[in-house]
């Protein structure tokens, strides 16, 4: 959509021009002449696309005041179709209804003698504005040439228009986008607009102190809600304030969230994917360049502030999605792919929470990883090639609380011009109790940290879209884990003593340095799975470093699993042999009969386990159904 300021100013100037033409023909029989002149000017100025009508015009010559009642400016659909055939149709059409238009201090003598229009105040009460946007490719071609300045359109009638103040009260605004015959609408009601010091003359077009001929535009938009075309999400905010003089854009209580709760969302969607909730108390752009937005369609600001927000991502692994190639989808690469050119010198994060939750498809439990109270700065957020010639790197310095426990400091550097998405990240995680990660691993892996004290983690990684390399250091002691059974009907889990013993005694080093003083450094060298999203690929690289530091190399892991498998088979074989011989001697059954019974019991046990998992999933979904959308 074109900037809101353009159509506001354009509409006002359009009306003033028509009224001025009428006043210049003022006489004893002023109303018929005025009416004829206004309609004639509207038709001439718009290639007969628009017609205008109103109920009445009231003029006070002594005070220079004018009031027009129930003004309608309506596009002609038949003329628009003809302009489309001629490839001259504009992308935007306007349907405007104004309850009352009031103009104070209308300088009629100045208009007649000097062809200059001065107005002290213009008030537009309860206007209804409908913009219909239908993009035509021929309007973007070079052959159209530069747009004619606004002064060029009025100079035959007026040399100058100067308005001290314009007030538009309680605008009901509707925007319709037409694409391939499909209409998509959104509406905003009760919008307030104040415009100060409007000047249109031969020089104002080039005055850098003015934004679209004005010294100030102040817009206040109350609560607004917009649903995405697929119906799964909505965007809303409490208030939007825009001030061109202060170069400020302020949004409060911003939210992007699903329209359905988690259970209904996935049932309706029928496949996997992320359930995303983003909420922000304050989102502000300071030092916003309104001139570049108007002239070049570029979004430039000195600073962006994001304060007191929460980004929550949830995934239900019961629902599967086909693997898709994620190469080229890193955050900085997606920024470069945006059609809108933008540049923000610094983005400041002030108390942002980030969480990722996942419902296990095996255990129907939800594991969560959190990064709480995130603060930091992201520098040079831009996809503008001219800016990137001077500085091609985007940098992010962030501080957060990992699992609301350890302090995590990270530094990212993104090469915005790299064809393979090159970036680096390094950081440190401070002292914490490792049992804090149980909120993440217990529901998903049926594993819990029994004890463990982290002294620090330090990592330094270079990566791109295809691989990552780096170092990972992890200082810790007293690490012990429990391998758990699946939850029983009472919701409790039992510890698998033998497997827990094997893991603690054979698999993991209890500390780094180990009991013999040997210190292990993790060396990351990992090729990315093309189907892994950016953050999952990054986590897989860090996980490689973690495994090495705790002593879990590929060979050791395979050896342990083979050993555990053999021991379980031995234990299971002993139990089966005891049962077999007991059956033979006590129940006088043949070995074949007992083996058949054993297979039947195993099948019953497997069916029972499957039935229990089904009940667990239904129970989990019922709990999710109690939630509200966006929880």
Least confident of 45-59, 352-366, 421-435: 45-59
Mean pLDDT, residues 402-408: 94
Total domains in the fold of the chain: 2
Residue 470 confidence (pLDDT) above 50: yes
What is the pLDDT at residue 140? 63
Q: Kindly state the percentage of the chain with pLDDT values over 90.
A: 39
> Is 177 domain-assigned?
yes
Residue 574 confidence (pLDDT) above 50: no
The SS3 assignment for 288 reads: coil
| Banded model confidence at residue 9, pLDDT cuts 50, 70, 90 | low
> Is 10 domain-assigned?
no
Residues 6+ apart with CB under 8 A from 539: none
**Beta bridge pairs of residue 581:** none
Which helix (DSSP H) or strand (DSSP E) does residue 376 occupy? strand 366-382
Q: Within a 10 A sphere around the Cβ of 629, how many other Cβ atoms?
A: 16
Q: Kindly state the percentage of the chain with pLDDT values over 70.
A: 81
Domain boundary among 227, 261, 290: 227
Q: Which domain holds residue 530?
A: 499-592
> Is 469 domain-assigned?
no
Mean pLDDT, residues 432-451: 89
> Is 160 domain-assigned?
yes
Inter-axis angle of helices 262-269 and 591-625, nearest 10: 110
Which helix (DSSP H) or strand (DSSP E) does residue 283 occupy? strand 274-286
Mean pLDDT, residues 224-233: 86
| Banded model confidence at residue 247, pLDDT cuts 50, 70, 90 | very high
Q: Is 492 in contact with 553 (CB distance < 8 Å)?
A: no
Residue 588 confidence (pLDDT) above 80: no
Tokens representing residue 266 in the block: 């996935």
Residue 579 confidence (pLDDT) above 60: no
Dihedral sign computed on CA atoms, order 527, 530, 535, 540? negative
Distance CA 356, CA 195 (A): 45
Q: What is the pTM of this model?
A: 0.79
Helix-then-strand count for the chain, H and E: 14, 25
344 class by beta-carbon count within 10 Å (0-12 exposed, 13-18 middle, 19+ buried): buried
Mean pLDDT, residues 528-539: 90
Residues 6+ apart with CB under 8 A from 233: 227, 256, 257, 258, 259, 276
The SS3 assignment for 516 reads: coil
Least confident of 38-47, 301-310, 393-402: 38-47
What is the pLDDT at residue 162? 86
> Is 309 domain-assigned?
no
Q: What are phi and psi of 454, to 5 degrees?
A: -90, 125
What is the pLDDT at residue 135? 83
Q: Could you tell me what percentage of the chain is helix, strand and coil, using 3-state DSSP and rounding each to the nearest 5?
A: 30, 40, 25
| Banded model confidence at residue 27, pLDDT cuts 50, 70, 90 | very low
Give the position of tokens 């999952």.
536
Residue 143 confidence (pLDDT) above 50: no
Least confident of 173-182, 307-316, 405-414, 608-617: 608-617
> Is 583 domain-assigned?
yes
3-state secondary structure 95-150: EEEEEEEEEECCCHHHHHHHCEEEECEEEEECCEEEEEECCCHHHHCHHHCCCCCH
| Banded model confidence at residue 23, pLDDT cuts 50, 70, 90 | low
Give the position of tokens 């108007």.
294
Mean pLDDT, residues 33-50: 73
Q: Is 218 in contact with 591 (CB distance < 8 Å)?
A: no
Distance CA 437, CA 373 (A): 17
The angle subtended at Cα 491 by Cα 489 and Cα 496, nearest 5°, is: 95
Give the position of tokens 């690469």.
333
Q: Within a 10 A sphere around the Cβ of 626, how many other Cβ atoms?
A: 9
Cα separations in angstroms, 184 against 137, 170, 180, 417, 582: 19, 23, 11, 36, 75
> Is 289 domain-assigned?
no
What is the pLDDT at residue 304? 97
Domain boundary among 203, 227, 251: 227
Distance CA 352, CA 374 (A): 5
Residue 455 confidence (pLDDT) above 60: yes
Q: What are phi and psi of 204, to 5 degrees?
A: -65, -25
> Is 216 domain-assigned?
yes
Chain-wide mean pLDDT for the chain? 82
How far does CA 537 lie from the centroid of its chain?
A: 21
Q: For 366-392, what is each residue's pLDDT tens digit?
A: 999 999 999 999 999 999 999 999 999
| Banded model confidence at residue 142, pLDDT cuts 50, 70, 90 | very low
The SS3 assignment for 223 reads: coil
The angle subtended at Cα 569 by Cα 451 and Cα 444, nearest 5°, is: 40
């Amino acid at each position: 959509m074109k900037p809101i300021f353009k159509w506001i100013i354009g509409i006002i100037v359009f009306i003033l021009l028509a009224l001025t033409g009428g006043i210049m023909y003022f006489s004893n029989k002023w109303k018929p002449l005025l009416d004829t002149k206004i309609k004639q000017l509207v038709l001439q100025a718009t290639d007969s696309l628009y017609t205008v009508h109103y109920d009445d015009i009231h003029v006070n010559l002594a005070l220079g005041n004018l009031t027009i009642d129930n003004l309608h400016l309506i596009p002609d659909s038949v003329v628009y179709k003809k302009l489309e055939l001629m490839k001259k149709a504009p992308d935007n059409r306007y349907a405007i209804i104004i309850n009352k238009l009031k103009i104070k201090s209308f300088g009629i003598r100045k208009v007649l003698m000097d062809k200059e229009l001065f107005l002290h105040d213009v008030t537009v009460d309860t206007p209804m504005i409908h913009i219909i946007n239908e993009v035509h490719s021929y309007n973007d071609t070079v052959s159209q040439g530069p747009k004619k300045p606004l002064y060029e359109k009025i100079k035959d009638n007026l040399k100058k228009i100067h308005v001290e103040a314009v007030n538009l009260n309680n605008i009901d605004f509707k925007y319709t986008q037409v694409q391939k015959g499909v209409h998509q609408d959104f509406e905003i009601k009760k919008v307030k607009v104040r415009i100060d010091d409007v000047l249109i003359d031969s020089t104002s077009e080039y005055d850098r102190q003015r934004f679209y001929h004005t010294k100030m535009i102040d817009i206040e938009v109350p609560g607004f809600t917009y649903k995405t075309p697929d119906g799964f999400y909505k965007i809303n905010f409490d208030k939007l304030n825009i001030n061109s003089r202060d170069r400020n854009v302020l949004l409060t209580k911003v939210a992007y969230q699903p329209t359905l709760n988690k259970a209904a969302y996935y049932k309706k969607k029928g496949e996997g994917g992320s359930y995303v909730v983003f909420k922000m108390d304050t989102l502000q752009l300071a030092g916003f360049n309104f001139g570049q937005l108007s002239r070049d369609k570029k979004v430039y600001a000195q600073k962006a502030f994001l304060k007191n927000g929460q980004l929550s991502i949830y995934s239900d692994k019961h629902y599967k999605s086909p693997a898709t190639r994620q190469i080229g989808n890193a955050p900085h690469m997606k920024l470069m792919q945006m059609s809108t050119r933008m540049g923000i010198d610094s983005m400041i994060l002030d108390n942002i929470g980030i969480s990722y939750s996942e419902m296990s498809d095996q255990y129907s439990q939800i594991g969560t990883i959190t990064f709480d109270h995130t603060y930091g700065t992201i520098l040079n957020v831009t996809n503008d090639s001219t800016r990137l010639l001077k500085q091609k790197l985007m940098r992010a310095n962030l501080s957060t609380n990992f699992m609301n426990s350890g302090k995590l400091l990270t530094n990212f550097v993104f090469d915005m011009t790299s064809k393979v998405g090159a970036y680096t990240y390094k950081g440190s995680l401070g002292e914490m109790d490792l049992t804090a990660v149980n909120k993440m691993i217990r529901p998903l892996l049926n594993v819990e940290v029994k004890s463990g004290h982290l002294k620090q983690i330090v990592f330094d990684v270079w990566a791109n879209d295809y691989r990552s390399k780096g170092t990972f250091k992890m200082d810790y002691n007293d690490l012990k884990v429990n391998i758990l059974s699946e939850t029983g009907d009472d919701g409790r889990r039992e510890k698998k003593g033998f497997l827990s013993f094997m893991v603690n005694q054979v698999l993991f080093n209890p500390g780094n340095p180990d009991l013999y003083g040997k210190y292990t450094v993790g060396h990351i060298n990992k090729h990315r799975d093309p189907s892994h999203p950016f953050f999952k690929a990054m986590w897989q690289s860090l996980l490689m470093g973690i495994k090495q530091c705790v002593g879990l190399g590929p060979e050791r892991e395979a050896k342990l699993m083979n050993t555990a498998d053999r021991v379980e088979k031995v234990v299971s074989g002993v139990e089966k042999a005891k049962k077999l011989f007991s059956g033979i001697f006590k129940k006088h059954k043949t070995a074949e009969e007992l083996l058949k019974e054993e297979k039947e019991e195993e099948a019953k046990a497997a069916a029972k386990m499957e039935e229990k998992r089904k009940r667990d999933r239904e129970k989990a979904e019922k709990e999710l159904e109690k939630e509200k959308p966006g929880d």
